[in-house]
Amino acid sequence: MKLPVFVVDAFTAKAFRGNPAAVCLLENKLDEDMHQKIAREMNLSETAFIRKLHPTDNFTQKNVNNTLTFVTLSGELKARRAENSIILDLPLYPAHPQDFHEVEDLIKTAIGDTLVQDICYSPGTRKLLVRLSDTYKRSFLENLKVNTEDLPQVENTGKVKGLILTLKGEPGGQTQAFDFYSRYFAPWVGVAEDPVTGSAHAVLSSYWSQQLGKKDMHAFQCSHRGGELEISLRPDGRVDIRGSTAVVLEGTLTA
């Protein structure tokens, strides 16, 4: 078996930044076990498999349909091209105020005595959003040491599956202006820190839109790889998350 495979860095125009993902092109359907083996071999945050719908389809021909639909554990995810960017079409997940004392141990374990301004919880995604004090700057969030190793033991009820740390953006000066910053951690599912994630921004978009009174926002995820996201809330209760991409590897997977 030989499969064309690509490694693509998403939410960045430069290689070795953003969120790395593998993309495999399938002539025929594979069983789930083979999907998992390939994903483990690629060892990246995500591995996407694109399969022909009809035998006469051809990967080498120009795709006249600029939208791809992916079947994921969270439902259908649609991605479409727009000039030199990719737009993800995601559901918008609301986040509700969360009592601090119910999650105090989790927060203290993760970030110690770091000042917290607001806490919200998204039941639809089981993500806990923690907004740090507005007194902090971007550099503080970037350099913050987060203890993720102990979180699954501290929070083992199943309520929380992801921790979002976020910070209000700063006015533009010598650096580019962003509406908000974030980092995302999911040790409950084996991801210590996700470099850049669209799913967390489906929660962040809802929260910061209410806080800032804006539908269109510019965000930056402050992982070690970093990533820029352009966000637009839609009237139908969904959100468009736009970012650049860089193809860093093309090859053939043999098995």
Catalytic residues: 46
Burial of 139 (0-12, 13-18, 19+ CB in 10 A): exposed
Q: What 8-state DSSP symbol labels residue 28? A: S
Cα gap 102→108, rounded to integer Å: 12
* Interatomic CA distance for residues 238 and 146, integer angstroms: 31
Cβ atoms of residues 163 and 183 within 8 Å = no
3-state percent breakdown (helix, strand, coil) of the chain, nearest 5: 20, 40, 40
* Range list of H helices, 11-98: 32-42
Cβ pair 200, 143 in contact under 8 A? no
Per-residue DSSP letter, 29 = -
Instruction: Report helix, strand or coil for 18.
Output: coil
d(CA 96, CA 89): 22
